[in-house]
Structure 1
Amino acid sequence: MLPVVLLALALVIPPVPSQRVNDYAGLLPADARGRLESTLAQRESATGAQMVIAIFPSLEGESLEDFGIRLAERWRVGQKSLDNGVILLVFVKERRVRMEVGYGLEPVLTDAVASQIVRETIAPRFREQRYAAGLQGAVDAVFARVDTKALSPARRSPGRGVSPWTLAVLGVFGVVVVMLAIDAMSGGRARRNAYVAGGRRGWDSPTVIVPPIWGMGGGGGRGGGGESDSGFSAGGGSFGGGGASGDW
């Protein structure tokens, strides 16, 4: 019976967000939220790494570390193949802060580095009630550690050097070559008996079907409007408990 009661008392994790700054406590004014959202979107576009801020009124008695990893596993911030997500959690009533770091960023955002950011960048500003400044400082400190060369999707994504249009042209060219070869082997009967616009054929060559090519007009950008503030979506990153906690 006791485990059921404890489960019922656990702090509820919000649904996966559609934005990077999520202030459930009403701590930040709207203009500060907008500036942070814009900054995080720009940093994500430049590096591929995702950072999300979540501000809650209270922990409701739950363990900070337990809630942090539960939320990280639910929200899955960061890219699936790179695990390059960061989640910064703030709990106003308890004056606690937690930074969750994805697997892929642990080499550059070690527990010691995360702790330093919490203690030296966030906490002093929060004590002065300069919450937006503390969060902005944390964002700057996190992305100062991110190696853009190692994390840029353009450098890590396989096959990025060949565009979909090039592949399409090569595919169509291959089909044409095969059809010409079949026509040559049939002694020209294809040209005499086939209709260009009609549906009837007078020869027994195989039917060649060219499949549709999806997404050829996209220009190579991220799906879901990744260049705009409203286009955020978590990519499936994994977390293992790396990061740091602190208070102010």
Structure 2
Amino acid sequence: MMQMWCSNKVRYVLCILLGCLIWSTAALTWANNQQSNIITAAANESSPDQAVVGRIIQEQQSRAKQNTASQTATTSNEKPAVAENDLQEGQATRVLPSLKQPVIDQSKLLNQSQLSRLSSQLIQLNRQAKAQIGIIIVPTTGQEDIFDFAMRVANQWKLGTEKQDNGVVIAVAVNDRRIQILTGYGLEGVLPDVVVSRIIRNQITPEFKNGNVAAGLIAGTTEIERILNLDPEIAQQAADQLKQQQERALHEQQAKDQMLLYTAIILIVGVFASSLIGHRLTASVAGVAAVTAGIVTGASILVSLLLGVGVFFLLVTSLAQVLLQLILSVAGRGGGSGGNDSDGYGGGGGSFGGGGASGSW
């Protein structure tokens, strides 16, 4: 009797381990296949963006030579601007202001005329649905890196529309002599990192070095506007291609989520059915259903078969109940979303992924 009891226990443990192994293999194979498909699609669709970037870079190089010659002829003794530090002693990071207008100057270096001119330019761009640009100028970001500060601004302000993701954040830390430009997802094809870096280097920082903060920002936003107006058909094509890549990635993720949802439903029904018609019959039917669910959601035959075998063993053993509780707890977690300012120049729900460039002077 003792030997039979031990033998049953060993068989039970082996079934559980085999079920876990099959389940993990199916999940990992599916994830790797989807990642490979997304990377391949992105590689095949990069040519329109490269054509736009090449054309823009050629024009930027020509303009840079002209600007260099002009700056050499008009070199002055002006020094970079300095603003009064407004952070309290021991304050590591800044409190972000609400977005009520396109330019927020906490450094107090821009006069009213400069603010009006820059704001009018940005408002016009936004009305034309080309881009929504927000500029924040601060004395310092404290102990926070300029990129992290700009990302906080982007996540709070949500510049650009939710549909187009055509927002741009320009963050300037005057005393730190650092600038960060972030572009929304929808503009990464038209304003890739290399182009944004050249704008900072050729249009903005040369003026900043001479203490002309307003002139540098006006020159930078003018160059951004020029690029957005440069062959709108090709530029829009590049943005559309990027959108298609994002939609394809979203579709793949939805297919994966759908397969997991079907599997969870099959397990839920299987757990309750086991007490009525027996473990083996329920596990067999559920295994076939899981294979069907995998094929319907776009998984390969191998992954679908592994999924079916995994469901079978999970229902034959009591491990299915534990796994069911885990799935339900994960599914019950939800994320919140922040609201947008409705007054003034409030953002429209645009998203940022960190695209853009930084610079110093």
Tell me the TM-score normalized by structure 2: 0.43
1:108 match: 190
Distance 2:151 2:134 in 1: 14
Give the 3-state SS of the residue equivalent to 1:51 in structure 2: strand
- Structure 1 residue ranges (4+ consecutive) displaced by more than 3 angstroms after TM superposition: 147-151
- In structure 1, what is the Cα distance between the partners aligned to 2:115 and 2:346? 17
The answer to whether 1:239 aligns with 2:321 is: no
**Alignment pair present for 1:126 and 2:239:** no
Q: Is the 8 A contact 2:130 2:228 kept in 1?
A: no
Q: How many residues align?
A: 164
Question: Counterpart of 2:318?
Answer: none
Q: Which string of whole-angstrom CA distances, capped at 9 and with x for unpartnered residues, describes residues 68-94 of structure 1?
A: 112211111111111000010100111
1:59 to 141, 146, 154: 141
Shift of 1:10: 4.2
Q: Which residue of 1 aligns with 2:114?
A: 32
Preserved contact between residue 98 and residue 245 of structure 1 (Cα < 8 Å): yes
Q: Percent identity?
A: 40
Structure 1 position 47, deviation (Å): 3.1
CA distance in 1: counterparts of 2:213 and 2:167, whole angstroms: 22
- Render the CA deviation track for 1:167-217: whole Å, top value 9, x for unaligned: xxxxxxxxxxxxxxxxxxxxxxxxxxxxxxxxxxxxxxxxxxxxxxxxxxx
Aligned CA-pair RMSD:
1.9
Native 8 Å contact 2:146 2:171 kept in 1: no
- Residue 9 of structure 1 and its aligned partner are, at CA, apart by 4.9
Give the Cα separation in 1 of the matches to 2:165 and 2:158.
9
Counterpart check, 1:140 vs 2:222 = yes
Match of 2:249 in 1: none
For the residues of structure 2 that align with 1:18 and 1:242, how far apart are their CA atoms? 24
Q: Unaligned stretches of 5+ in structure 1?
A: 1-7, 152-223, 225-229
Question: 1:47 touches 1:146 (CA, 8 Å); kept in 2?
Answer: no
Structure 2 segments unaligned to the other structure (5+ residues) = 1-89, 238-341
**Matches of 1:9 and 1:123, distance apart in 2:** 28
Whole-angstrom distance in 2 between the partners of 1:106 and 1:142: 12
* Offset of residue 63 of structure 1: 1.3
**SS state at 2:153 partner:** helix
When structure 1 is superposed on structure 2, of 46-55 and 234-243 the one drifting more is 46-55
* Higher-strand-fraction structure: 1
- AA aligned opposite 1:241: G
Match of 2:103 in 1: 21
- Other-structure match for 1:172: none
Relative to structure 2, which stretch is displaced further, 44-53 or 110-119?
44-53
Amino acid corresponding to residue 168 of structure 2 in structure 1 = V
Aligned to 1:98, the other structure's residue is in SS state strand
SS in 1 for 2:122: helix
Q: Distance in 1 between matches of 2:108 and 2:222?
A: 23
